[in-house]
Structure 1
Amino acid sequence: MREILGWRRGLRFRRKRRTERGTAVAPLEAALRCATVWDWPVLPGAGLRAVVAPKAKGAKGAKGDAGARARRAAPAAPASAACACPDPRCVVPGAHPFDPGLLAATTDARMIRWWWSARPDAPVLLATGGRAPCAVSLPAVAGARALAALDALGMRLGPVVATPTRWAILVAPYSLERLGELLYTKDSVPASLRFHGEGGYLPLPPSVIGSGQVRWERAPLEGSARPWLPDVEAVVDALVEASTSTPGGGSRLAY
Structure 2
Amino acid sequence: MDETIAGTETAQIPTQRGESLQETAVRYAEERHWDVLPGTWLEAVDGVQRCSCGEPVCAAPGAHPAREDWPTQATGSATVARRMWSKRPSASILLPTGRTFDAIEVPETAGCLALARMRRMELTLGPVSCTPDRRMHFFVLPGATAKVPDLVRKLGWPPASLDLVTLGEGAYVAAPPTRFGSRGAVQWACRPTAVNRWLPDAEELISPLAYACGRDR
Taking structure 2 as the reference length, the TM-score comes to 0.81
Farther-moved stretch of structure 1 (168-177 vs 120-129): 168-177
- Residue 70 of structure 1 is matched in structure 2 by none
**Secondary structure in structure 2 of the residue aligned to 1:212:** coil
- Is the 8 Å Cα contact of residues 142 and 242 (structure 1) preserved in structure 2? yes
Of the three residues 200, 211, 214, the one matched with 1:241 is 211
- Residue 131 of structure 2 is matched in structure 1 by 163
- Residue 144 of structure 1 is matched in structure 2 by 112
The amino acid that maps onto 2:65 is: P
The two structures, once aligned, show a CA RMSD in angstroms of 2.4
- Is the 8 Å Cα contact of residues 145 and 166 (structure 2) preserved in structure 1? no
Q: Would the alpha carbon gap of residues 225 and 30 (structure 1) be closer, same or farther in structure 2, given more than 3 Å must change?
A: farther
Structure 1 segments unaligned to the other structure (5+ residues): 1-11, 53-77, 251-255
- Residue 104 of structure 1 is matched in structure 2 by 73
- Residue 125 of structure 1 is matched in structure 2 by 94
1:196 aligns with 2:190: no
1:181 aligns with 2:150: yes
Q: Would the alpha carbon gap of residues 126 and 232 (structure 1) be closer, same or farther in structure 2, given more than 3 Å must change?
A: same
**Which protein has the larger Cα radius of gyration, Structure 1 or Structure 2?**
1
Equivalent positions of 1:53-64 (< 5 A) are none
- Is the 8 Å Cα contact of residues 127 and 196 (structure 2) preserved in structure 1? no
- Residue 39 of structure 1 is matched in structure 2 by 33
Farther-moved stretch of structure 1 (196-205 vs 224-233): 224-233
- Is the 8 Å Cα contact of residues 123 and 209 (structure 1) preserved in structure 2? no
Of the three residues 63, 84, 89, the one matched with 1:115 is 84
Structure 2 segments unaligned to the other structure (5+ residues): 1-12
The amino acid that maps onto 2:146 is: E
1:26 aligns with 2:20: yes
**Aligned partners of 2:199, 2:83: CA distance in 1, in Å?**
30
Taking structure 1 as the reference length, the TM-score comes to 0.70
Q: What is the CA-CA distance between 1:107 and the residue it aligns to?
A: 1.3
The amino acid that maps onto 2:20 is: A
- Residue 214 of structure 1 is matched in structure 2 by 186
- Is the 8 Å Cα contact of residues 207 and 214 (structure 1) preserved in structure 2? yes
